[in-house]
Structure 1
Amino acid sequence: MKSRKTIQKNLTSSIFSLVAGLLLVVGTAMAQTPDQSTPDGLIKFVVSDVMASVKADPEIQKGNIPRVVDLVDKKIVPYTDMRRTTEMAMGPNWKKATPEQQTQLVAEFNTLLIRTYSGALSQLRDQTIQFKPLRAAPDDKEVTVKTVVLGRGDPVALDYRLEKTANGWKVYDMNIMGVWLIEAYRNQFANQISQNGIEGLVKFLQDRNKQLAAAKPAN
């Protein structure tokens, strides 16, 4: 059984790789505009769009966190379903939250992920990403896009879970080295709720986001 420290380390790598993975050039796949109506095509599109933005902004390349956060918020967040991510991380406790608390939890969890891991954008080096063949039926509503991140060190398997919504495909979970993002946060959320209730979890996320906003970026 994996230790909490190992799970947290894998979680950090997971979200780093999510952001990094969405920015890596996908070889000749980028020669043509990807088809955003398919799940793998959507992620390839985001790769191309965000990479162009990174190359055009010297401040992001220098590690300007506010600029990086703004880029992630505009270029990546629209293609995710944070409400579903939060709901699944909450588990049965989601239904115990009021509509107002649910809205707060989604917003704070979204901010937490962005602030904690957006620095990954400025740390990209000579990495590339390979897309494995998509195994899905035309009428599937949920699929997993499997990729492999190549660079320094061993190849890292990175998988994305997407759902088909009225507004197109959305990413709601990701896996790296056997650890799903939602699974990693579920126990932490449950512990906070058991000790302090739903409102306690909201406050925990708010306090953590304030700490991250006040923290100086690492050199």
Structure 2
Amino acid sequence: MKQWLLALSVALVTAVMPMAASAELIRDDNPYVLLEKVANKTLARIAQDRDLIEADLNHTRVIIREEMLPYVDYIYAAKRVLGRNLTQTTEEQRQQFYTVFRDYLITTYAGAFTQYDESKHTIEFNRAGRFEEGSRMVVVNTRLIEQGGRPPVRLDFKMRYDNTDEVWKAYDLVVEGVSLLNSKQAEIASVIRANGIDGTIQLLREKAQEAVKPYEETEN
């Protein structure tokens, strides 16, 4: 699980919350190219803010919010996670769920980011040989490389074109054949059965508000 969350966090940075006023979306009609551009910008930001991260781990939330979230379709992902439970919710409950699911993801990624070391980890990108112009859903393949001879981790991004924002966004990540979306769907479905949708929203809200801790302390 530790390798999973590290891979997830590192990968999704390469993959909607308000951005800083000066921030501009990186745009490219080719999702492969977009992913690499976002990755390079985000990894540079992590290295630049390393002192701030070491002084306060909660700063990772700022990086995720500003660099990653604009390119993650968390609403589409949240709908997929809810699955058949979506039709059993009110509009108010759905909006609350989208918000807490987004904030929960930010906190989850922030915790796993404490394991990331830009001096040891790199990401390799497959080129867009199979991308067809006009496509609206694609799978972008990357690999997480760690120094020390460990086998590369395969990371397959599922991306869709957001017609509203006019930008490609990631909605799922498959790590070594295991889908984040499917895993979260099973987890959330179990919580909803036990606590109902309102109880699930409250539980996610509480988890989202927890302080960021070194990942070793949060691992079960």
Which TM bucket (shorter chain)?
0.7 to 0.9
Q: Distance in 1 between matches of 2:99 and 2:53?
A: 27
Q: Distance in 1 between matches of 2:10 and 2:50?
A: 22
What pairs up with 1:189-204 in 2 under 5 angstroms?
189-204=188-203
Conserved 8 A contact 2:13-2:67? no
C-alpha distance in 1, partners of 2:88/2:55?
Answer: 40
Give the TM-score normalised by structure 2: 0.80
In terms of fraction of residues, the more helix-rich structure is 1
Structure 2: gaps (5+ residues): 16-25
Are 1:131 and 2:130 counterparts? no
Structure 1 counterpart of 2:146, from 145, 151, 162: 151
Matched residue of 2:139: which SS?
Answer: strand
SS at match of 1:89: helix
Per the TM alignment, residue 196 of structure 1 is displaced from its structure 2 partner at its CA by 2.2
Q: Which residue of the other structure, out of 50, 54, 69, is the alignment partner of 2:61?
A: 69
Kept in 2, the 8 Å contact 1:54–1:60? The answer is no
CA distance in 2, matches of 1:83, 1:35: 20
Question: Secondary structure in 1 aligned to 2:58?
Answer: helix
Amino acid at match of 1:201: T
Map 1:79-90 onto structure 2 (within 5 A). Answer: 79-90=71-82
* Residue-pair matches, total: 199
Q: Give the structure-1-normalised TM-score.
A: 0.80
CA distance in 1, matches of 2:113, 2:52: 8
Deviation sequence 1:183-208 (CA, Å, 0-9, x none):
00111111122222211211121222
CA contact (8 A) 1:90 1:189 kept: yes
- From 99, 111, 136, the equivalent of 2:103 is 111
Counting aligned pairs with the same residue, the percent is 25
Q: Matched residues in 1 for 2:61 and 2:186: separation?
A: 27
Deviation at 1:58?
3.7
Larger CA deviation: 161-170 vs 9-18: 9-18
